[in-house]
């Protein structure tokens, strides 16, 4: 289908809770393909539908030999803790230490409405949590420790890509 433009921090679609996908078929398959095509550019681990301007609950992922799209995902299990640098296509060039669960599992549906479960540890767990956050209108910088978040917000406001 198409590689879609990534919406940047400050775009209202990134702070809006996405709507559930209610019908599966041609439209959901087209969105899934756009999410995968947009994911396939180098350096990308996941893309949420709001990041391409679509306010629906869906994301693509591609890490550790696993690749796919999940519609209406729900984080159903987490365990442990990991701390590591996290970045976001919607906050380009900025990486900050972000606390996440070390293991995560999401359940939802594929583009045809069939149930799916994706689970993983490490970077895949981080990706699943990060992308699900996007669907709830949460950008990772809002999960940072307060002092780190203040620095991140200053850096965002100074970034060449940021439009106030």
Q: Is 104 helix (H, G, I), strand (E, B) or coil?
A: strand
Among 90, 93, 35, CA closest to 67: 35
Query: What residues have CB less than 8 Å from 133, skipping those under 6 apart?
Result: 139, 140, 143
Q: Is 140 helix (H, G, I), strand (E, B) or coil?
A: helix
**What's the distance, CA 122 to chain centroid?**
15
86 carries an active-site annotation? no
CB 138: neighbour CB atoms within 10 A? 16
Of 19, 131, 145, 163, the active-site residue reads: 131
Supply the residues annotated as catalytic.
131
């Amino acid at each position: 289908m198409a590689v879609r433009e990534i919406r940047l921090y400050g775009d209202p679609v990134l702070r809006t809770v996405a709507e559930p996908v209610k019908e599966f078929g041609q439209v959901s398959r087209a969105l899934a393909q756009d999410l995968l095509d947009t994911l396939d550019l180098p350096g990308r681990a996941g893309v949420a539908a709001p990041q391409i301007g679509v306010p629906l609950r869906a994301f693509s992922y591609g890490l550790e030999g696993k690749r796919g799209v999940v519609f209406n995902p729900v984080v159903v299990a987490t365990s442990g803790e990991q701390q590591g640098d996290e970045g976001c296509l919607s906050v380009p060039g900025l990486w900050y230490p972000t606390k996440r669960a070390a293991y995560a599992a999401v359940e939802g549906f594929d583009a045809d409405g069939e149930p799916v479960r994706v689970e993983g540890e490490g970077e895949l767990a981080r990706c699943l949590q990060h992308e699900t956050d996007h669907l709830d209108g949460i950008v990772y910088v809002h999960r940072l420790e307060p002092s780190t978040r203040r620095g991140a917000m200053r850096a965002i406001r100074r970034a060449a890509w940021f439009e106030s």
